[in-house]
Structure 1
Amino acid sequence: MTIHYIFSDLDGTLLNSAGQVSVANQKALAACKLPLTLVSARAPQEMQSVITKLNLTTPQIAFNGGLVFQPQADKPAVLSKSTIDFTLAGRLLTVLKLYFPQISLSFYDLHNWYTERIDKEIRYAQKLNQQPITQLQPATFFSQRHHEVFKIMLLTFDLNQMAAVNDFLAKLAIAGISVQQSASYCLEITSAQAKKSRGLKYVLQQEHLTAIMTYRC
C-alpha cells in the first residue's frame, strides 16, 4: 500500500507534553516529503507555530472539524466551517456562569480567544497553546451580531466540578452542540456538525483521495 497523504492529531500525538513538535518528529516529517494535514480541537492561531515550523501549505482542520482552513501569512482562509448558533452560544455562557461560577469559561471566534476572567486555568492553557487572550464582558461580544463562535471551553482542575458540569450538560441535551472532554481539566463545546471525520472527508474529497485504513495513536 502506498501512502500519499498524512493526517495527524496534535495534542498527545504529534506534540510532546510541553506542547512542542520534537526535533525527531520534525525531521521524520521532512524526510517523508508527504503532504500533512493537522487535525485538532485547537484554534487555527494555536496551530500556527506548528504549521510554520513544518512549513505546511496544505488544508488544516481546527475546532474538532468545525473549521477547515488554508494557512496564509496574515489570517486563515476558510474552506469549510460549522459554528455554534450565535444566540445559543451566548445563552450557554450565561447559564454556565450562573450554575458554575468557579469554572473557567472562554470562547473562540475565527481569530481570537476571549474570556471574562483570567484565572489560573486560563494561564495554564496559555502556557500550552501560546495564544494571547482578549479579556471582555461576553455581553459586549454578543451585542454584535456579526460575530461567530466556533468553540466554548470550560477549564477546571476540580474533578468533581468537571463531573458535575458534564452531567449538567448531558441532562440539558441541547440540540445543535457537541460536548467533548479533551483532557481531565478541559471540556469543549462545538457545533454538532463539528466532527474531525467531516474535516477529514472534506480534505480527502478535495485531494481526490480515498482512506483505505485508519490508525489511531
Structure 2
Amino acid sequence: MDGTLLNSTGRISSVNIKRINDSQIPFTLVSARAPMEMTEVIDKLHLNSPQIAFNGGLIFKKNKDDLEILADDPLDIGIVKKIINYITINFKDISCSCYDSNNWYSEKIDDGTRYETLLTGQIPKIVNYANLFTEGINIYKIMLIDFGKLKLKTLEQKLNSLNLNVSIKQTGLNYLEITNVKAKKSRGIKYIQDLENISKDEMAAFGDGHNDLPMFASVGTPIVMENALDEIKAYGKFITQTNDENGVAFGIEKYLEVN
C-alpha cells in the first residue's frame, strides 16, 4: 500500500479508486500494515474478498462490524520479549511498536509514532510492555522506526545475529518490521490463488519495496513503481508511474489490458 497504492501523504487518490472500481478486477491489498490501517481503503474500494496484512502474517476479511481471521501466524511471545528487551537496552532511541490484530501499542509517543500517525491516522495505545505480554494476546508485528538509515541497518544486522528465526524486513527508508518467519506476501498470494483457483499467469501485483520481492515471484505480471529503488525495478515485468502519479491506475490501464 505505502509507496504503491497510497501517495506520499498516505492517502489513496480518487483516480486510483475510480480506475480500480471501474476495472472490475478482483483486487486484494497485500500490505505490511495492520488491518485497522487498511480498512479505510478497503471501504473506498468496496472490497469483500480476503485481504493480507502484516506481510502475510494475517489473512482476513473485513465484515460489517468485525474482522474475520482466515489464517494467521503470530510471533512467538517469548521472542517478542527478547527482541524488545534487546532494543530497549541497546537501541533505546529507536521507536518501537507492536501490533495485535486490532491494536497498535507503544510505550511512549516519540518521533516515530508521530510520523506513523500522520501517515495512517491511527494513534497508538500507550502501555507497559511487561504488563501487555502477560495478557495472552497475539503479536503479529514489531515495528521499528528511525530516521538515521545507518542505525536501522546496524540494528537489522544485530537482530539477525541473534538467530531468532523471525522475518526482519526493511519496508521503507525509515522502517524495520519484524514478523513470523512464515509471514511472506507470497504466502498470502498463494492463499488467494488456491481460493480463486487461478494460475500464476493470471495474477498481477504492484509493489515498490524489498518485502514485495516474494510477491513478484508469485505472479505472472509483476509491476514495479517508478519510485522504487533500481534494484527492485529489476524484478518488474513493467515499470509504472510513481505512487504520486496514480501509478496503479496507470498500470491497470496500460499493462493489464482493461478497457
Normalised to the residue count of structure 2, the TM-score between the two structures is 0.77
**1:202 alignment counterpart:** 191
CA contact (8 A) 2:96 2:143 kept: yes
Paired letter, 1:190: T
Select 1:178's aligned residue among 167, 171, 175.
167
What is the Cα deviation at residue 86 of structure 1? 1.3
Select 2:105's aligned residue among 114, 131, 146.
114
Paired with 1:134 and 1:181, the residues of 2 have a C-alpha distance of: 24
Paired with 1:97 and 1:210, the residues of 2 have a C-alpha distance of: 45
| 4+ residue segments displaced more than 3 Å | none
Q: Secondary structure at the match of 2:169?
A: strand
Paired with 1:52 and 1:138, the residues of 2 have a C-alpha distance of: 32
**1:129 alignment counterpart:** 120
Select 1:166's aligned residue among 149, 156, 160.
156
Paired with 1:30 and 1:159, the residues of 2 have a C-alpha distance of: 37
**1:83 alignment counterpart:** 74
CA offsets, 1:22-54, max 9 Å, x none?
111111111111221000000000001100111
Q: Secondary structure at the match of 2:147?
A: coil
Q: Number of residues paired by the alignment?
A: 206
CA offsets, 1:90-144, max 9 Å, x none?
2211111111111110000111000001101110111111112100010011112
The answer to whether structure 1 residue 150 and structure 2 residue 140 are counterparts is yes
Paired with 2:176 and 2:109, the residues of 1 have a C-alpha distance of: 17
Paired with 1:167 and 1:209, the residues of 2 have a C-alpha distance of: 38
Paired letter, 2:164: I
What is the Cα deviation at residue 172 of structure 1? 1.6
What is the Cα deviation at residue 160 of structure 1? 2.8
Paired with 2:221 and 2:71, the residues of 1 have a C-alpha distance of: 23
Paired with 1:94 and 1:151, the residues of 2 have a C-alpha distance of: 15
Paired letter, 1:208: N
The answer to whether structure 1 residue 29 and structure 2 residue 36 are counterparts is no
Paired with 2:10 and 2:17, the residues of 1 have a C-alpha distance of: 14
Paired letter, 2:43: T
**1:43 alignment counterpart:** 34
Gaps of 5+ in 2: 202-219, 225-259
Q: Secondary structure at the match of 1:215?
A: strand
Paired with 1:68 and 1:208, the residues of 2 have a C-alpha distance of: 17
What is the Cα deviation at residue 21 of structure 1? 1.0
Paired letter, 2:177: E
Aligned CA-pair RMSD: 1.0
CA contact (8 A) 2:95 2:113 kept: yes
What is the Cα deviation at residue 65 of structure 1? 0.4
Of 163-172 and 188-197, the range deviating more from structure 2: 163-172
Paired letter, 2:102: H
CA contact (8 A) 2:79 2:164 kept: no
Select 1:93's aligned residue among 84, 88, 94.
84
Normalised to the residue count of structure 1, the TM-score between the two structures is 0.92
CA contact (8 A) 2:56 2:185 kept: yes
Q: Secondary structure at the match of 1:14?
A: coil
What is the Cα deviation at residue 173 of structure 1? 2.4
What is the Cα deviation at residue 179 of structure 1? 0.1
What is the Cα deviation at residue 166 of structure 1? 1.4
